[in-house]
């Protein structure tokens, strides 16, 4: 049984394509649900981009803060703010939700679009295919590339018990605006960590047990593009990074991430580390599982003068370390993909503890 993969159905790509956002949204401003919600990363508060966002006075414009990774309580809070704007009438739900920012903002936009149409807390839907109703129309406008979140069927959230995505066909964006010019302002280290998310999940998917030719074709090209961006750094580097992220996300269709992502989720949950840097910290200790990938990753770090934080787990209290292991072990499909059906005999609690203690 192969997944019937749900794609983002409409994509515009090109330098300056952000200027087309207003035209694209015009269709959604017709009819009774004629207002829109903009969720925009608050790093753009003082930027030139701010004045180019095509929000109207009838729209709800919300700055979002992603200093922490998206939490289910934050999603619920944002959803309530949107619902309050409708004055309690479900007939007045917005015609669309537009997310402008990095991977965390993409995830917030997806999650709010889902939760406007599904009752309860977003924490109730962390898992696979628990969403019952289609989301409000939602648009992704990435300003950082690497997570693949722009094309994925998940929105990764930190809940009270776990860090886990809302995985559903309804999570997928209805529209992407991919404008490489928007990547220009990102801090270099953040750009690197987010780009490495793409590199690492391609290594994980290409060496995994779940792969088929669809995912392999996308994954190999994403990896080639990452090499061009982070080792050669030729012209069009931002254009290529944007495509690498897109292809990397597509490569997950018939594959999975692996050991690095599983460990990184634990680091994020307990230490509040962002996903990109968490991946890098974990990957640097996974030579045993991904020897070539880790060697090339270190070359990329050297070239970009990246120094990873060290000994971040050393002082962590024992019960927190055990929680880290719990969070990591929940992610069974990731371990299965990385190590095959016998993964439990290889990746014991002791082995995970030993790996974490090196980080």
- Residues in contact with a copy of itself by CB under 8 A are 1-14, 16-17, 20, 24, 175, 178, 180, 212-214, 217, 220-221, 225, 236, 239-240, 242-243, 247, 253-254
Structure tokens at 4: 């019937």
The SS3 call for residue 79 is helix
Q: How far is the CB of 10 from a copy of itself (least distance, A)?
A: 5
- DSSP helix/strand/coil, 207: coil
Alpha carbons 279 and 276: distance in angstroms, whole number: 5
CB of 262 to a copy of itself, least distance (A): 25
- Whose Cβ is closer to a copy of itself: residue 253's or residue 263's? 253
Shortest reach from residue 213's CB to a copy of itself, in Å: 4
Distance between CA 60 and CA 81 in Å, rounded?
A: 9
CB of 8: closest distance to a copy of itself in angstroms? 7
- Shortest approach of a copy of itself to residue 17 CB, angstroms? 5
List the beta bridge partners of residue 68.
none
> What sign does the dihedral 347-352-358-359 (CA atoms) show?
positive
Q: How far is the CB of 253 from a copy of itself (least distance, A)?
A: 8
98: left (phi over 0), alpha (psi -120 to 50) or beta: beta
In this complex, which beta carbon is closest to a copy of itself, that of residue 27 or of residue 332?
27
Q: ∠ at Cα 55 (53, 56), nearest 5°? A: 145
Q: At its nearest, how many Å lie between a copy of itself and the CB of residue 196? A: 19
Q: Which is nearer to a copy of itself, 10 or 295 (CB)?
A: 10
Q: Which is nearer to a copy of itself, 5 or 61 (CB)?
A: 5
CA distances from 182 to 256, 287, 316 (A): 28, 34, 38
CA dihedral 54, 169, 76, 277 (to 10 degrees): -80
Q: Helix 259-271 crosses helix 275-283 at what angle (to 10 degrees)?
A: 130
Rounded Cα–Cα distance for residues 184 and 191 (Å): 10
Minimum CB distance to a copy of itself smaller for 73 or for 211: 211
Vertex 125 angle, CA 349 and 142, to 5°: 90
For the CB of residue 137, give the shortest distance to a copy of itself in the complex, in Å: 14
Nearer to a copy of itself, 5 or 63 (CB): 5
Among residues 122 and 145, whose Cβ is nearest to a copy of itself? 145
Q: Which is nearer to a copy of itself, 124 or 220 (CB)?
A: 220
| Count of all residues that appear for the chain in the document | 359
3-class state of residue 236 by DSSP: coil
């Amino acid at each position: 049984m192969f997944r019937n993969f749900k794609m983002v159905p409409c994509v515009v790509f090109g330098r300056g394509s952000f200027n087309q956002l207003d035209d694209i949204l015009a269709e959604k401003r017709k009819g009774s649900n004629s207002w829109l919600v903009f969720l925009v990363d608050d790093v753009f508060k003082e930027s030139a981009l701010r004045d180019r966002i095509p929000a109207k006075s009838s729209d709800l414009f919300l700055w979002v803060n992603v200093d922490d990774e998206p939490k289910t309580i934050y999603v619920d809070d944002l959803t309530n703010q949107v619902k309050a704007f409708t004055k309690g009438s479900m007939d007045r739900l917005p015609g669309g939700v537009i997310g402008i920012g990095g991977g965390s903002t993409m995830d917030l936009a997806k999650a709010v679009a889902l939760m406007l149409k599904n009752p309860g807390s977003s924490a109730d839907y962390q898992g696979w295919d628990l969403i019952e109703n289609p989301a409000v129309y939602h648009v992704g406008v990435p300003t950082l590339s690497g997570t693949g979140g722009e094309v994925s069927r998940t929105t990764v959230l930190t809940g009270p018990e776990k860090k886990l995505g809302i995985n559903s066909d309804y999570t997928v964006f209805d529209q992407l605006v991919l404008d490489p010019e928007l990547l220009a302002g990102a801090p270099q280290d953040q750009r690197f960590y987010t780009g490495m998310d793409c590199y690492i999940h391609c290594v994980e998917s290409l060496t995994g047990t779940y792969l088929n030719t669809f995912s392999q074709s996308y994954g190999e090209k994403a990896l080639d593009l990452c090499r061009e961006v982070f080792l050669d750094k030729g012209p069009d580097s931002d254009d290529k990074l944007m495509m690498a992220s897109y292809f990397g996300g597509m490569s997950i269709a018939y594959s999975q991430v692996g050991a690095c992502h599983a460990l990184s989720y634990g680091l994020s949950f307990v230490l509040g580390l962002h996903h990109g840097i968490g991946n890098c910290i974990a990957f640097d200790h996974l030579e045993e599982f991904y020897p070539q990938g880790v060697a090339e990753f270190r070359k990329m770090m050297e070239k970009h003068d990246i120094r990873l934080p060290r000994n971040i787990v050393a002082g962590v209290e024992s019960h927190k370390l055990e929680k880290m292991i719990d969070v990591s072990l929940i992610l069974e499909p990731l371990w299965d993909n990385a190590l095959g059906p016998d993964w439990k005999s290889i990746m014991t609690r002791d082995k995970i503890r030993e790996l974490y203690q090196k980080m």
